[in-house]
Amino acid sequence: MNDCIAAGHEQTLETAKEILLAGGNAFDAAIAAYLSMFVTEPFMASSGGAGFAMIYHDKKTRFYDFFCQTPAAKKHFGNLDFKPITVDFGTEQEVFHIGLASAAVPGTIAGIFKLHQDLGSMPFSELIVIPSKLAKEGVILNNFQAHDLKLLAPIINASQEGKKIFYKEGQLKLKGDLIRQPKMVDFLDFLAQEGHDGFYKGEIAASIEKDSIDQGGFLRRLDFENYKVNVSKTLNIPFQNKTLNLSPLSSLGGMLMAIVLSRISKYSLAETLVYTNAFLQDHTKLIQSFKNETGIDPGFTLSNVSTKGTSHFNIKDKKGNAIALTTSIGEGSAYYIPNTDMQLNNMLGESFLLPEGFHNWKTNTRLKSMMSPTMILDLDKELIFAGGSGGASRIPFALAQVVINLFQKGMSLKEAIQAPRMHYQENILNLEAENLLQNLTFDRPKKVWNETSMYFGGVHAIYNSGKAWEVAGDERRDGVGEIFG
């Protein structure tokens, strides 16, 4: 049996590969790869971020929720550190808010240590060696990361720490330039010595609390001390003599994928996307629809949904262990955690999360996300697919289209991922190719992109066709994949 990796950056993949070749399991490789993402994909991953992971072990799946939690109170002193910035995406502009008051409690480090405690086989001190080397020596900006840096320049410009890392001779760094994060080296050594409590109950939490009080934020040390990783069963749905293992709360993407895939045999993809997005606007109807379509009561109500700056990787080892992990920092808050070279998230600074207005979030509550790490098992409970994506609200729809391409259209994994996609949002059907609507009368406004775009997500996946394992990274986001061993 081979090792398989699909990821959003070549150095993220190389880190995981080196750990597997050194005898580590998929979960060891995931921890080292995740830590490396702090340098290789710094606008998607950070110690100040959060995420979800689905794991496959002993023919069972489990879901690790280490997403962001809102602060326990809305106390602050003086003016809030909460500033609007405009990000120009070329075709449109979007306003986000940054600053300490935009930050929710991060879950990344708690998630890493929980995975290590439950499933790791190598000492944590060994897992930081490669990430530390990358932080010290630097990682070359590839095309996608350089593009993301350019988009997020207004956030980088809002802090001196950001400029030190991402500027060179007074200019924003470009493709081919090195990104170094020297403070991260000492931070990783600190984690190896102090563990989870060093971050959540020690000087990191204390430093963030002090700055929040002094500068106008909500986070307090108690928020960090009370943070917990939630481990639960996956949301399992029958699908073509297989079992879809989907993300449960606090991911909403799994539920949306289930609705799309349950309706696709009755309606066209375009009609299904319109239906699902229309129901997304009415949370009560969406939940009722989910019950009707699947016979499963999700047992929760919908509220805040996130995120934008997102990446994903999958790792399977020779013993059959596997993990699909998705992570995000939103866009980043422009507040850098002291002595780490890493930003806190800005999950409380995105207007679409806050329908009742900024700072009207419910206290001490796990935020919801569209991030949707996904696995598919066959009748013998053997893993045949693991995947996930970036792309905010497009994530579950991008993944569902890849699943449809694989299991209904019989495409190879690479074909399924690179095939043109469609997405319905704000009463417009976005298409990567006009012929997606061939032989279909569709009376809604549409926009044809005529090229693949990161707007439609970035699905990275591994897949067993029954003949052999396949891996693929989405070219929309410079994804990579490798099989070895």
Cα–Cα distance between 321 and 119 in angstroms, integer?
10
The predicted model gives 334-342 an average pLDDT of 97
Cα–Cα distance between 446 and 430 in angstroms, integer?
6
The catalytic residue among 61, 70, 310, 326 is 310
342: three-class secondary structure by DSSP: strand
Q: With a cut of 60, say whether residue 183 has pLDDT above it.
A: yes
Q: With a cut of 90, say whether residue 89 has pLDDT above it.
A: no
pLDDT number for residue 304: 40
> Which residue, 221, 261, 208, is CA-closest to 237?
261
How big is the CA angle at 313 (ends 317 and 61), to the nearest 5 degrees? 60
Q: Which of 72-76, 169-173, 297-301, 309-313 has the lowest mean pLDDT?
A: 297-301
Contact by Cβ (8 Å): 461, 325: no
Q: For residue range 374-388, what is the model confidence (pLDDT) as tens digits?
A: 999 999 999 999 999
The predicted model gives 472-476 an average pLDDT of 97
Percent of the chain with pLDDT over 70: 92
Burial group, residue 441, by CB count within 10 angstroms (0-12, 13-18, 19+): exposed
Percent of the chain with pLDDT over 90: 72
pLDDT number for residue 301: 45
CATH code, 233-305+371-484: 3.60.20
Cα–Cα distance between 261 and 404 in angstroms, integer?
8
The predicted model gives 229-253 an average pLDDT of 92
473 — pLDDT class (breaks 50, 70, 90): very high
Cα–Cα distance between 223 and 373 in angstroms, integer?
26
How many other C-beta atoms can be found within 10 angstroms of the C-beta atom of residue 292? 10
pLDDT number for residue 355: 58
pLDDT number for residue 63: 98
Angle at which helix 182-200 crosses helix 26-40, to 10 degrees, equals 120
Domain boundaries, the chain: 3-231+308-369, 233-305+371-484
Q: Which of 302-316, 392-406, 427-441 has the lowest mean pLDDT?
A: 302-316
pLDDT number for residue 303: 41
The predicted model gives 182-204 an average pLDDT of 97
Q: What pTM was computed for the model? A: 0.94
pLDDT number for residue 302: 43
| Helix (H) or strand (E) run with residue 54 in it | strand 50-57
Q: For residue range 21-63, what is the model confidence (pLDDT) as tens digits?
A: 999 999 999 999 999 999 999 999 999 999 999 999 999 999 9
pLDDT number for residue 186: 97
pLDDT number for residue 106: 98
Cα–Cα distance between 423 and 401 in angstroms, integer?
10
What are 131's two structure tokens? 């990430």
Annotation marks residue 327 as catalytic: no
Q: For residue range 343-392, what is the model confidence (pLDDT) as tens digits?
A: 999 999 876 556 567 888 899 999 888 899 999 999 999 999 999 999 88
pLDDT number for residue 281: 66
Q: For residue range 124-173, what is the model confidence (pLDDT) as tens digits?
A: 999 999 999 999 999 999 999 999 999 999 999 999 999 999 999 999 99
Q: With a cut of 70, say whether residue 305 has pLDDT above it.
A: no
